[in-house]
Amino acid sequence: MTKVSIIGSGFSSLSAACYLAKEGYEVSIYEKNDTVGGRARQIKKEGFTFDIGPSWYWMPDIFEKFFNDFGKSTKDFYKLDKLSPAYKIFFSDDEITIGDTMDKICDEFERIETGSSKPLRKFISQAQENYDIAINKIVLKPGLSPLELITKDTVTRIDQFFKTISSQVRKNFKNPKLISTLEFPVLFLGAKPSKTPSFYSFMNFADFGLGTWHPKGGMYEVIKAMRDLAKSLGVTINTNAAVEEINVLEGRTNGIVVNGETIISDYVLSGADYCHSETLLKPEFRQYSDAYWNKKIFAPSSLLFYVGFDKKLSNVEHHNLFFDTDFEAHAEDIYDNPKWPEKPLFYVNFPSITDVTMAPNNCETGFFLIPIAPDLEDTEELRQQYFDIIIDRFERKTAQKVRDNIIFKESFCVKDFKKEYNSYKGNAYGMANTLMQTAFLRPNLKSKKVKNLYFTGQLTVPGPGVPPSIISGKLAADLIKKHQSN
């Protein structure tokens, strides 16, 4: 049997492991941490359940397709609920609630700007066309050649690759609150909306068209489902297994070193952060220099707080965005002039509002996230200072006192991203999807210097986020199959 060693156990590695095992490969996963899931792990403490990374379950079709490829359905593993409302946005002078249907969203747009529902329907209909092209055609390509991007559909939309989402939204909507609402989805791609091609409006269709879902028990249920599927297909999963080296002999990898032990393998696939994976090779076998990585636009890092409250909270939904300060000023502090933001925007989720399994009775599980530039100074004092800022704002905007009801609190920031995941500069969501960092312009799935060595995950093709990471695993598995059959 052909042996494949996979580094890491995030979404991309688990996905690749399942596809390869299904094809008859002998697959072993080596994960440095003591549990699987990577950035999507979960903390369960004092009755509270916190997903420590992803919380927005978007693009349910991609998850379904993944399980269908193995003759299964998401339903075989977890229960999905469509959230209603999907989320709420707090602005300085108003709140916008995004419902679970286009009709409800159109009503809300009309309330803010009379006549805005008409351009909204048109915008989302175009976004849906882009979604169909992106998801069914483009993201399934391995990013090996620019020709992959040239299709009848993309040629007729070429202008959408050179205009930005920001300019397209501003052309159709004038109200700043509606503009921020429509620019929010592309933030998942890791760059400023003014640097993200308007073709990526497919994220708006994912948001308004497909909706926001919640797997009962939290996002970690998806990791558990993929882990169980992998095991049922014969994958061996090793935790507390940090890979120390990728061995190369005569231009081809013949295995890895884990906790001092050499594991002979026919193929090695790394789902760990790409730049870290290359440091496991001797310098002559690395494809990308420090200067290369340093020039790239990385998605933000984050300051995160996992907070347990001893009461139920009011005036909030499952997902809440606090856009009550200047969006542009915060984006500048992340991308243009990296520094701790003066007036941070932040995001909070309370999964226990819709899912009682996530918190003890009459308690609330809260996850607070401030996006920040990668590699900022990270100290306990700074973390506490920002916690105080956002809790004060949270209390004011939601008109309730919560500070004295905190019975659990942990934080996670740049230092933890580096230590826990070997993350480059402590990035949270990998490398941004800008025009110059799309498809064949991203770090390669296949090493150009070492035969039989492959990469997967949010720093390579197609990009950051859970659905793209699942697809990335499939693409890497397909390349390995193709290589072996040649």
Ligand X SMILES: Cc1cc2nc3c(=O)[nH]c(=O)nc-3n(C[C@H](O)[C@H](O)[C@H](O)COP(=O)(O)OP(=O)(O)OC[C@H]3O[C@@H](n4cnc5c(N)ncnc54)[C@H](O)[C@@H]3O)c2cc1C
How many helices (H) and strands (E) are present in the chain, helices listed first?
Answer: 16, 19
CB nearer to ligand X: give 56 or 386. Answer: 56
Residue choice 272, 313, 358, 414 for contact with ligand X (CB under 6 A):
272
Residue choice 2, 33, 400, 405 for contact with ligand X (CB under 6 A):
33
CB nearer to ligand X: give 10 or 193. Answer: 10
CB nearer to ligand X: give 13 or 204. Answer: 13
Residue 258 belongs to what H/E stretch? strand 252-258
Does 421 interact with ligand X (rule: CB under 6 A)?
yes
Nearest approach, Cβ of residue 166 and ligand X (Å): 21
Residue choice 56, 323, 394, 408 for contact with ligand X (CB under 6 A):
56
Does 31 interact with ligand X (rule: CB under 6 A)?
yes
CB nearer to ligand X: give 117 or 469. Answer: 469
Does 212 interact with ligand X (rule: CB under 6 A)?
no
Does 428 interact with ligand X (rule: CB under 6 A)?
yes
Half-sphere exposure of residue 316: CA atoms within 13 angstroms, side-chain side: 29
Residue with tokens 């940090």: 242
Angle between helix 176-183 and helix 102-112 axes, rounded to 10 deg: 150
Stretch of 37-45, 108-116, 141-149, 199-207 contacting ligand X, by CB under 6 A: 37-45
Residue ranges in 155-184 that form contacts with ligand X under rule CB under 6 A? none
> Cβ–Cβ contacts within 10 Å for residue 261, how many?
9
Does 13 interact with ligand X (rule: CB under 6 A)?
yes
Alpha helices, H only, 31-116: 60-68, 102-112
Q: Which two tokens stand for residue 354?
A: 């819709």
Long-range pairs of 393-398 with CB within 8 A, sequence gap ≥ 24: 393/322, 393/324, 393/346, 394/322, 394/348, 394/368, 397/90, 397/322, 397/324, 398/90, 398/313, 398/314, 398/315, 398/316
Does 265 interact with ligand X (rule: CB under 6 A)?
no
Residue choice 4, 6, 7, 96 for contact with ligand X (CB under 6 A):
7
Residue ranges in 332-371 that form contacts with ligand X under rule CB under 6 A? 369
> What is the pairing mode between strands 243-249 and 236-238?
unpaired
Stretch of 50-58, 110-118, 204-212, 305-313 contacting ligand X, by CB under 6 A: 50-58
Does 193 interact with ligand X (rule: CB under 6 A)?
no
**324/373 Cα distance (integer angstroms):** 20
- State the binding string over 230-249 for ligand X (x if CB under 6 A, else -): ------------xx------
> Which residue type, as a one-letter code, is found at position 451?
K
Residue choice 28, 55, 201, 204 for contact with ligand X (CB under 6 A):
55
Does 43 interact with ligand X (rule: CB under 6 A)?
no
Does 432 interact with ligand X (rule: CB under 6 A)?
no
Does 452 interact with ligand X (rule: CB under 6 A)?
no
Does 465 interact with ligand X (rule: CB under 6 A)?
yes
Residue choice 142, 217, 218, 271 for contact with ligand X (CB under 6 A):
271
CB nearer to ligand X: give 33 or 97. Answer: 33
**342/154 Cα distance (integer angstroms):** 40
**214/65 Cα distance (integer angstroms):** 17
Residue choice 453, 457, 476, 479 for contact with ligand X (CB under 6 A):
457
Residue 372 belongs to what H/E stretch? strand 364-372
Whether the Cβ atoms of residue 87 and residue 185 lie closer than 8 Å to each other:
no
CB nearer to ligand X: give 117 or 301. Answer: 301
Q: Which residues pair with 48 in a beta bridge?
A: 45
**DSSP string spanning 432-448?**
---GGGSGGGSPPSB-S
**387/364 Cα distance (integer angstroms):** 17
Residue choice 5, 6, 18, 32 for contact with ligand X (CB under 6 A):
32
Question: What is the dihedral angle through the alpha carbons of 195, 191, 14, 226, rounded to the nearest 10 degrees?
Answer: -100
Does 422 interact with ligand X (rule: CB under 6 A)?
yes
Does 215 interact with ligand X (rule: CB under 6 A)?
no
Residues that bind ligand X (CB under 6 A): 7-13, 30-33, 38-40, 53-56, 242-243, 271-272, 276, 302, 304, 369, 421-422, 428-430, 457-458, 464-466, 469
